[in-house]
Amino acid sequence: TDAKIPIIPGTYKNISELAQDCHHCHRCTLGDSRTHAVVGRGHLQAPIMVIGEAPGQSEDETGLPFVGRSGQLLEKILASVNLSTERDVYIANINKCRPPQNRVPTPDEIAACKPYLLEQIRLVDPKIILLTGATAVKGITGDKQAMTKIRGQWMEWEGRLCMPIFHPSYLLRNPSKEVGKPKWLMWQDMQAVRAKLD
């Protein structure tokens, strides 16, 4: 897909049309090194959309988001408040293609991919968007504050409810479940999400 041709909001009738374009996309150079473009998985009309950063190795290999170590933890976190990708959640990323060595996507790469994400949000039409980690927050709202400061706080973006939450990879590096630690805070945040849905 040619970077010079803009993606006009409303272009896609459904996620599979959007995915077709992603699989052929060369709007940024990540398209040259990917194995698979990773579009999304989960319920296509989910009330909750989880947005991560970009595919890692497992995701690039399988073409599915959050299927590696972070993804397994994310599934456990969702299940802990009785949420599932079959019924309640659609998962996507800021960038559809894996950055080399899993580096953080550049502002240009994020900008090139953003029209796809905006179309995904429009099509899934979630009530709640969960932004996992600083890249997702920056990519959607532009907010650059520290995750430790903004996690768990509801914010509004384009008329939708959003909540920044820790990225599962951060929780893998901080495994303590003690009161006040990241994993405990995540549990508080997910209970607030669950309550908002009920």
Tokens describing residue 12: 């896609």
Measure the CA–CA gap between 172 and 161, rounded to whole angstroms: 26
Site string for ligand URA, 98-127 (x = CB under 6 A): ------------------------------
Number of residues this chain uses to bind ligand URA (CB under 6 A)? 12
**What is the nearest approach in angstroms of ligand URA to the Cβ of residue 171?**
12
Closest distance of CB 56 from ligand URA, Å: 5
Q: Which is nearer to ligand URA, 146 or 195 (CB)?
A: 146
Question: Which stretches of the chain are assigned E, i.e. beta strand?
Answer: 40-42, 48-52, 89-93, 128-132, 155-157, 160-165
State the first-to-last Cα distance of the chain, in angstroms, to the nearest integer.
Answer: 41
In the complex, residue closest to ligand URA by CB: 52
Q: Which is nearer to ligand URA, 71 or 182 (CB)?
A: 71
For the four alpha carbons of 91, 69, 56 and 143, in that order, the dihedral sign comes to positive
66: contact with ligand URA by CB under 6 A: yes
Residue 27 or 98 having the CB closest to ligand URA: 98
For residue 95, state whether it binds ligand URA (rule: CB under 6 A): no
Positions in 40-59 near ligand URA (CB under 6 A): 52-56, 59
Which residues pair with residue 157 across a beta bridge? 160
CB-based contact 95:54 (threshold 8 Å): yes
Length of the chain: 198
Q: Which residues in this chain contact ligand URA in the complex, by CB under 6 A?
A: 52-56, 59, 65-66, 68, 70-71, 93
